[in-house]
Amino acid sequence: MKRGLLIVLSGPSGVGKSTAVAEVMKHQPNLQFSVSATTRPMRPGETEGKSYYFMDRSRFETLRDGGELLEWAEYVGNYYGTPAAPVDEALDAGVDILLDIEPVGAMQVKEKRPEAILIFLAAPSFGELERRLTGRGDTPPDKIASRLEKAKWEYTQAPAYDYIVVSDLVERTADRIESIMKAEKCRAERQLDLLKED
């Protein structure tokens, strides 16, 4: 059984991560989306184990302190993180798994699972990212400013990624991500079993 690929997609807020993920998932039946754990309350329409693994703080802290999270962070008073067990189970079963997480989390995953393939989703330009955040119309100006500040820092992390994918047309963005998956499956170190005589 060939191990699945651990793909981490990250990038600044507003760049189009969820749209890209949805498009990729349409074409990749063997790709599993990683479900995060969170301590924030469940919202209407959300499903346990599908939207998130919902849990209280003490359960989250037990997982975290037991090294059972691939990454975690706290946002506005709630914990968010990626439980390692479902990820490792998928990989062992030969299933590719995709994580859509914050850049801070991406670096934690790479540290814990060096085989992770890190993809940074970037706007065609920083100016374009600004236009996208402003254009959504659902974000107050002071939040836009703070997100752009954060994005600047996140962009400084991009050279540590394996790939930088431009988020322009969603079909093209998805095609680039899927090409990376196909190419990574062809990497020599993953193919050496082919070379045995038989």
* Residues binding its own copies (CB under 8 A): 119-120, 122, 124-127, 152, 155, 158-166, 175-176, 178-180, 182-184, 186-189, 191-192, 194-198
* Distance in angstroms (rounded) separating the CA atoms of residues 143 and 149: 10
> From the CB of 140, what's the least distance to its own copies, in Å?
23
Report the side by side order of strands in the sheet with 69-75.
53-54, 37-38, 78-83, 69-75
Nearest CB to its own copies, comparing residues 112 and 190: 190
Which one, 68 or 178, has the nearer CB to its own copies? Answer: 178
- The alpha carbon of residue 119 and the mean position of all alpha carbons in its chain are separated, in whole angstroms, by 8
Identify the three-state secondary structure at position 50.
coil
Tell me the closest approach of the beta carbon of residue 21 to its own copies, in angstroms. 16
Give least dist CB 124 to its own copies, A.
8
End-to-end CA distance of the chain: 17
Residue 92 CB burial class (10 angstroms; 0-12, 13-18, ≥19): exposed
CB of 24 to its own copies, least distance (A): 14
Q: Closest CB to its own copies among 95 and 164?
A: 164
79 versus 155: smaller Cβ distance to its own copies: 155
Query: How big is the chain by its Cα radius of gyration, in Å?
Result: 18
- Shorter beta-carbon distance to its own copies: residue 24 or 69: 24
Cα–Cα distances in Å, from 59 out to 103, 105, 110, 197? Answer: 24, 19, 24, 50
How far, in Å, CA of 125 to CA of 167, rounded?
10
Q: Taking the complex as a whole, how short is the minimal distance between the CB of residue 137 and its own copies, in angstroms? A: 23
